[in-house]
Chain A
Amino acid sequence: MRRRFKLNINHNSEFELDLAPLLAVMVKLVPVLLVSSAFVQMMIIETELPQVVQEAIKQQDNNVKSAHITLEVNKVDGVKIIVENNGEEKVEVIANKDKKIDLASLHAKLIQLKQANPQVFKIDLSPDADVAYKDLVAIMDEARKSKSNDIKFKFTDTKTGLESQTDYMFPEIVFSNVMDG
């Protein structure tokens, strides 16, 4: 009878992992990523001019019940919110705070407006010539989305007829006075 060969395994042996190939890959990857990385992350804000939203404007014009909201921005007075609904016009002014636009009050007012007009997603922005670009971007930020996760707006999907919820308020912002003389 043959004797079985018994493999001698030393369970206490130590070995060193060869990290050289891994390091070689990393040394090549790091410069590639360093070159191609964008450290200043840039995003875009969509704006639409009156020409491209003609159809939407026509639809809103045909729908007399739909409210039409305009924000007039003035460097001295602040933001004037004009709401035209069923031929009636309501004007409210969000006055400047410490010579700056009161963004918190504006946001709160826009939430109220959205809750009152859930089917309206488009607003007109009509700034004065001397209003700084960064102030306009800040206003657009306030109007686009609700900052609170608890506040959602119910609206009816026109295609399915089902009720949906969204945190978007007025994502379509049209510079209404671009083509004015």
Chain B
Amino acid sequence: MLFGTAAVAVPIIIHLLNRRKFKKVTWAAMKFIKLSVEQNQRRMQLEDLLLLLLRCALLALLAFALARPALKTSGTDVLGQAKVTAVVVLDNSYSMDLRGLDKKSAFQKARAAAKEAINAMPSGSYASVLLASDLVQEKDSIISPTRALSQAHEVIDRAKVSHHATDLYPAVDRAVEILKGRAALRKEIYIITDGQASGWQQQGEIRKLIDENRDDIRVYILRVGEAKPPANYAITGLDVASGLTPVNHPLRFDVTVANHAEQAATNMIVGLYLDDGKSPVDKVMIPSVKAGATRTVPLYARFAKVGYHSVRASFDQPERFDSLEADNQNLLVVNAVREVRVLLVDGDTEARDPREHESYFLKLALAPVADHYVKVDTTTPAGFARNVLKSYAAVALANVERLTPSQISALKTFLREGGGVLVYPGDRVDVDFYNKELFEKHGLLPSPWGVAVGDATQDEIYTLFQSSGYEHPITAPWNNRDFGQLDDVRTFRHLKLEKQPSISVVKEAGPVKVVLRYAATRDAEDTLGAPAIMERDWGKGRVFQFSSTADTAWSDFAVFAPSVVPVLYRILGNVQAQGDTGLNLRVGDSFLHPLAVDQPNQQGRVIVPGLAQTNRISAEVLRDRPVLQFKDTHRMGLYEFQLDGEEGTTLFAVQPDQRESDLHKVNDSELPSAATIINWEANTDLKEQVKKARVGAEYWLMILLVVLAMVALETYLAQKFSQSK
């Protein structure tokens, strides 16, 4: 504005410059010019002054108009200039699919409300439409406000409920950001939602955002759908308890059922379905689940064929329970194998009694009976070589002092091809060698081994594993106490693993994760305990590093069958399925298929459930490693993935976020007080309600009209003044 006002100087400068630009005429009849000038002097000066003032005023007004002056207090529409720029945040999380008594879904009502909000805007207004769940679905939204309100209508008409959970903060944040970048006087945000409490989990942040901009942006929360949440039951968990999935063996699947209703649920029947099977392979009736509680029940199945299978847990006759479909079933994809071969490299086999050998208990834990689907071979460090490794799924190094370069090379080849390596410490291990060669040089270990903690010669002082907060998919089932517990294993001595080891310079070395931790010490600043088991992807394979021994020398983990067996099996299962997290995703997570370094141009395709469309994906580099990535997992269900040039398909399952199953509504009092809350019904007169708040008017068009009139006047006067007098 100030810079614009400087333009006032322009006509003055032009005037002064013009005075230096004139024709020269040698003239005789000066007397008459002098006489004429004297007679016209006053008038000419006046005319000059008038034109100069007019031009200056003209530019000053123009600068003023460009600054878009507005009067907040004005309630009238001056020349229809009180236009609105609005962002409509349309909640399309899957809870919006819930049908009310009138058989209409909340989303249908939300769409009607969104259209009415747009219809209530004065003509010439601008609108954005954001489809919002826990993210803004940009592809189907209008991000930059458009004047074509019919386009906004089309987007709303096309909008579909997603399988995402709700978290409105990202959308509100985005809406505020969009409006902040606009020069409009009247800015509005319409949040159209069913008011599910989980959507407002960041309500503190949302409130802050709305409060900070309350002078500038008016926020309306349009609540649609049933005021009281109907009963909703959900299958919130499905997991293979055993970890490994061999064929022709009965496998236990743990199914977790949640009751989000206000009364206890009784006689719920849950069935387990395999692949495309229409009838359940197992069924269980749950007599009762208390209001707000969850229940985990075991169901059994058996795979007849090797390969990828989908497992589905589903309510029997779900329509009997509730009208929210998405959470009435749960999917799991597993890779069934005929047998799992493991090679144990034992670094301490000198004792005569095999029970003294380092790998004795490990072997026992992995293959408790002779004819087991886990086949275990044992060898000495000198006895393993590249060609031997090929037939195994995993190799465990137990208290092996050091490795020869050819053995390291063999391990790397093995990992590149997708094998699993388990590394245990012990009194024979050359810690420096491991740290230097395997950690630093080759990036094989997730962490260097640190100082030894504890004394193995006594059994009074020990460390326990963490009792809760298991973050890795391998240990995640222990978050449910029904599954069992890990926190009664005593570890007397361990080598310290780094909590956050530095990123390896080796290209094939992947990110490091903690599988299991020790319980946090009381005096520790960090609430997380020290790592007990860590893992790292390496090539297409994975390395697991333990902090304590494979035998009972430092820990009694090896003999604690209820803990050690499922942990080891789940580790083997994890290796086998190339990480089962990769096959079982949450809505919105990316599907990643790691590629070998020599496959940078590999392509693949993904078939999306329900849409029967094939999406091609090309290799890209993620954290320095080539991968195939598929991001468009906004719909729940079973996806098929095929690598070009390979025959078999891989399955992966996409599950909605379980939080969304809890349909509890947020109270009006919990919503941001600066927002206007409207319980929208089909007969709500939204226009009347928002109109009252639409104060303020812009004057730029009016000023522009005045400027135009002044331009006309200036032209007329300049013409008139320059006429002969």
Q: Do A and B come from the same complex?
A: no
